[in-house]
Amino acid sequence: MKFFLLFFFVLTASVSAQNLHQTTGPFIRVFNLDGQKIANGKIVSMTTDTLRLYSAKKVRDIPLEKIGLIKTKRAMGHTIGLGAAVGCILGGVAAYAGDDGLFMSRGEFAVAGGILGAAAGTATGSVIAITKKRKVYVINGDKNRWELFRKSMSSIMPKVSEDYNDALQPETNTIHQ
């Protein structure tokens, strides 16, 4: 019964996590001309001189003059950490669901399963992180490079409705650095 309740909790948590706004584009990280990360999030829209990102329930406008680099997808550490966390949880739950061992109690067995699962998840996350095809776009405030980036993103970005842009307009934050 405990295993069923835990499984149900994990399932409902993952379903609610998927309830993100579906009209936003791919996840990117934006760096300024000095190489410091100034923003990250999902692309909402791009104009000839502004990038609009959705992150932390806010929309931010980033002027072209501030954009040095744009990196697609999440950092390698994110993928590796996610793999470790999932492995730890699955390993612990699977070990706890089993019978008592000869030398360990259920709790000790669950901890050992969590540690082994975290190691396996870290290895899996590392393989996934290495094989992901991340792209780096050097913009440096250049309009020609910006237009190339916009064209490359236009093929993978979903259409954003005008209603969505209008609804988010009051919460817009412009990045000034």
pLDDT at 157 over 80: no
Q: Comparing C-alpha atoms, which of 17, 74, 79, 68 is closest to residue 40?
A: 74
pLDDT digits 0-9 by tens, 104-139: 888 888 888 889 889 999 999 888 888 877 888 999
Buried b (16+ CB within 10 A) or exposed e, 132-160: eeeeebebeeeeebbeebeeebeeebeeb
Which residue has better confidence, 121 or 4? 121
- The share of the chain scoring above pLDDT 70, in percent, equals 73
The CATH class of 24-72+134-159 is mainly beta
**Average pLDDT of the chain, as a whole number:** 78
Which residue has better confidence, 98 or 160? 98
Q: Tokens 């009209």 appear where? A: 23
Instruction: Classify the phi-psi angles of 172: left when phi > 0, otherwise alpha if psi is within -120 to 50, otherwise beta.
Output: beta
Q: Comparing C-alpha atoms, which of 177, 169, 176 is closest to residue 58?
A: 169
Sign of CA dihedral 24, 169, 154, 35: negative
What confidence tier does 68 reach under pLDDT thresholds 50, 70, 90?
A: very high
Q: What residue spans define the domains of the chain?
A: 24-72+134-159, 76-131
Average the pLDDT over 88-92 and give the result: 88
Instruction: Give the SS3 label for residue 33.
Output: coil
pLDDT at 18 over 50: no
pLDDT at 10: 57
